[in-house]
Amino acid sequence: MAKPPVIAFILAIIAIMGGIYLADQAGLIDLTPGPDPRADSLWEVTILPSSDTDRTESGEAIDAGGHLIRYELTDANMDGLGDVNLDVRVRNLNAGASDELWAFGADLTFVSTTQASAAPGAQPIVNMTDFNTRFAVTWTLTESGAPTLAQNGQSASSSDWVTGAADTLNIDLEMAPSATDDIASATPGKLEFMVGGIKLTCELTESV
């Protein structure tokens, strides 16, 4: 007598699950999930000289620790500034097994504003995007393969940095020339980031 279709289907599922269980017990497959990536805690983060703007700078300097870059631009170049492109070398210094995974995060935390004499309010020096819900910043890891990076708004995160891994993080910012043209010579415009828990700063100064 033929089994009803529903019973036959259930028996087939039971047989498949039993086969998977036996394969797991025999070590042919691994059904046990691995550990979650550990939180980011110790990273080496350095701004690279390959960082640039889309204008000709009068001066460019990176501090000894690699955490601050200063650009100096003439009034005309500051007025037309459209892009700041930072390259940051990131290295995982956390101690662990060679295949242990670590979580990494990056965020744009501060953007200067300027006040034009005819403007109704302060304007951020970075453009807004996505219907003015976030600053126009793009995060990209430049080397192929792992680690990988996912952007969420103006932040980015990763969960597949193995112990000792290194990569170059590119931070591309679409600037707002209508705001940068009001940066005063005595007061630099600032961009601040948290990358792997380390504060990075970019200063934009108009030359006298």
119-177, pLDDT tens digit by residue? 678 999 999 999 999 999 999 999 988 899 999 999 999 999 999 999 999 999 999 99
Q: Distance (Å, rounded) from C-alpha 61 to C-alpha 167?
A: 22
Can you give the pTM of this predicted structure?
Answer: 0.80
- Cβ-count burial of 206 within 10 angstroms (0-12 exposed, 13-18 middle, 19+ buried)? buried
Picking from 139, 124, 40, the residue whose alpha carbon sits closest to that of residue 88 is: 139
Bridge partners of 202? Answer: 69, 191
Residue with tokens 């797991």: 24
Residue 123 near residue 180 (C-beta atoms within 8 A): no
pLDDT grade, residue 28 (50/70/90)?
very low
40-74, pLDDT tens digit by residue? 569 999 999 999 999 999 999 999 999 999 999 99
- Cβ-count burial of 181 within 10 angstroms (0-12 exposed, 13-18 middle, 19+ buried)? middle
Q: How large is the C-alpha radius of gyration of the chain? A: 25
